[in-house]
Structure 1
Amino acid sequence: MWQIAKKDLYIFFADKKALFLTLLLPIGLITLFAFAFGGVGQSASEPNPVILQYSDLDNSPASAALIARLDSISGIRMEAVDTAAGMENIRKGNRIALLVIDQGLEPALAQQSALPAHLFFDESQAMEVSILQNMLRGMLGQMRATAAPAPESAGHQEPEASNLQMVSVVGDETSNWGLIQAVAGTAIMMLLFSVSAIGASIIEEKEQGVLRRLLQSPQPAFSLLNGKLIFATIIALFQLVVMFLFAWMAFGLPVGMNLPGLILMIVVTALCCSSFGVLLASVADSKRQADSLGTIIILFMSAIGGSMIPLYIMPGFMQDIAVISVNYWSIQGFYDIFWRQLGIEALTENVLILLGYTVVLLTLSYYFFRRKALRL
């Protein structure tokens, strides 16, 4: 019994790289979630700034005072914009909200009438919008109480504290950002796991002598890598198509809303993820290393890229580094299609970046594969 345990312990500790990667996985996840949920590395006195666009059409002392008070809050950064430009920024996902102050703010504050103030917002950024809404209502309520005379009778009923009108710019009654997040985030993360397993099969075939026999045949050495890439891409396309069809049939995801854009995003996502799987097999020395390294990278990219944790609840610095993740560009592309309902031209940046990742990953794959093939 002890001999069996001793043998397994020897095998476990023999592969130093795999052992290191096995321990690195939980340590890395603990660190990521500590930053994302535990507030590690953040000072309570330095909240992540929320950019609030504003369009002051009133140009009164009252509107200037409101903007100045908002700008004095450390967690908010005010940005003056034209109303049309501000709305377009929200639709494209560049900003989350726009405060429009129409004419007549001072009389409305004094007369206890409806306030000419609208907060246009992106409903998918629920947490940040809620913070802005509460701050604005509180400030408008204080300004109303200061500007209005005291009620003459005890039975006098004041209107609601702010009467701030909330208007959702992105999404309609048929849209469900939670469904889009669940489908896109999960589909891409699981796709990465699938292609990493396909890539790891290259290592198995190398260990079985397939690569050595291939090098002795008229076939070029890269034929094994190219064949696996084609296979992984086809499987990735199939998996993504099935996932979106399931979301359409089970939950009503409107896949026909922008079918050319959806097909384009599926193709470039499949290519990019397949390239990652091939690179993983080219870098790792053993299947155990490939499994551990693949799991670490996939969970890291999924955590910072928005597959596991919605971006809006992450600290600012994690949102900044999310752009290095394949998941981020794929998920944002699907958001542009289903949530923001943008045309295919709006996907240009996402598509080009994913194709750029594909080229880089394949270049590295061929480089490392060639080095290892020459050692056989």
Structure 2
Amino acid sequence: MNSRALVIARHEARLMRTQPWIVVILIIIPGLLLAFFANGIVGGPARAIPGLAALFGFFGLSAIGLAFYRDHGWMTWDRLRASGTRPFAVIVGKLTPLAVMFLLQYLVLFPLGWAAFGLQIRGSVLGLALVTIGLVAAELGIGLLLAVVCTSIAQLNSLVSIGTLLLVGGAGALAPIETFPGWVQAIAPVSPVYWSFQGFQSVIAEGRGLADVLGPAAVLFGMAAVCFVLSGIFYKHEQRKTFFS
């Protein structure tokens, strides 16, 4: 990470400490909901914990838009551009603290599930970590792409809300996908959550090893790569964004 990206990352981290709502969305709310759903969802904690993490992780993609759009609302984006900071440094600087938070979500919820709700990870912990990193990479890629193509924070938040319900709910995160209509099962693989659950269930419930999750993890990293490449293609450093409705 170059010096300008590091400065931006530190600035974003300070803002998150003063406005910790992303911690509430990613960790506190799903952590509290586990008390009600850990054993109330078909599949028990093995489905409820990664399911709620994915649900609120995708809701948390609004934070990526906020990281970029608030500079437009605060009238500091032109100053950032005038400083000579390259787009790559801006993107890396703004995404790095968020990447840490998205990973921290799983670092908190999985141990919480084990300690308080009886979650048993029967397979490879390394495999679990690989799938988690792949899903977080996909989340960051999707969030960045939305921040790039949308023109207002209201538009982005609407797409995040709708997309979360489709990508998480339709991928079998909160209910067995076998119970869904056939057409839903057919399109479910377009969601990164579908592939993450192939990996999570393989490791958590079936006791599989690292080699068994390489396929789902590869798909997740591939989806992330496509989103990052598209973001680079469509990114316009000079484009104006609307922060206030």
**How would you bin the TM-score normalised by the shorter chain?**
0.7 to 0.9
**CA drift at 1:342:** 1.1
CA distance in 2, matches of 1:254, 1:182: 12
Q: State the TM-score, normalized to the length of structure 2.
A: 0.76
Cα RMSD for the two superposed structures: 1.7
Matches within 5 A, 1:122-201: 177-201=43-67
Match of 1:363 among 197, 216, 229: 229
Counterpart of 1:345 in structure 2 is 211
Question: Which residue number corresponds to residue 273 of structure 1?
Answer: 139
The answer to whether structure 1 residue 374 and structure 2 residue 238 are counterparts is yes
Q: Secondary structure at the match of 2:175?
A: coil
Larger Rg belongs to = 1
Using the TM superposition, give the Cα deviation of residue 339 of structure 1 relative to its aligned residue in structure 2, in angstroms: 1.2
Match of 1:209 in 2: 75
CA distance in 2, matches of 1:305, 1:196: 20
Q: Structure 1: any 5+ residue segments left out of the alignment?
A: 1-175
Shift of 1:249: 0.6
Q: Is the helix fraction higher in 1 or 2?
A: 2
2:130 aligned partner, one-letter code: L
User: Is residue 306 of structure 1 aligned with residue 172 of structure 2?
Assistant: yes
Distance 1:301 1:369, change over 3 A: same
Q: Which amino acid aligns with 2:134?
A: V
Which of 97, 109, 116 is residue 250 of structure 1 equivalent to?
Answer: 116
Q: Distance in 2 between matches of 1:302 and 1:190?
A: 9
Alpha-carbon distance between aligned partners in 2 of 1:255 and 1:340, rounded to the nearest angstrom: 9
Which residue among 224, 235, 239 is the counterpart of 2:101?
235
Distance 1:348 1:218 in 2: 40
| Structure 2 residues without counterparts, runs of 5 or longer | 1-41, 241-245
**Alignment check: 8 A CA contact 1:214 1:221 kept:** no
C-alpha contact 2:150 2:156 (8 A) present in aligned 1:
yes
Which residue of 289, 313, 320 corresponds with 2:186? 320
Q: Which amino acid aligns with 1:186?
A: L
Structure 2 distance, partners of 1:318, 1:209, is 44
Q: 2: CA distance between counterparts of 1:375 and 1:239?
A: 32
After superposing on structure 2, the runs of 4+ consecutive aligned residues of structure 1 that deviate more than 6 Å are none
Question: Given that residues 236 and 270 in structure 1 are in contact (C-alpha distance below 8 angstroms), is that contact kept between their aligned partners in structure 2?
Answer: yes
- What is the aligned residue count? 199
- What displacement does 1:256 show? 6.9
1:334 maps onto 2:186 in alignment: no
Query: Is contact 1:200–1:277 with CA below 8 Å preserved after alignment?
Result: no
* Bigger RCO (CA 8 Å, 6+ sep): 2
Question: 1:202-252 deviations in whole A, cap 9, x for unaligned?
Answer: 112123233221211121123222212212211110011111111111112
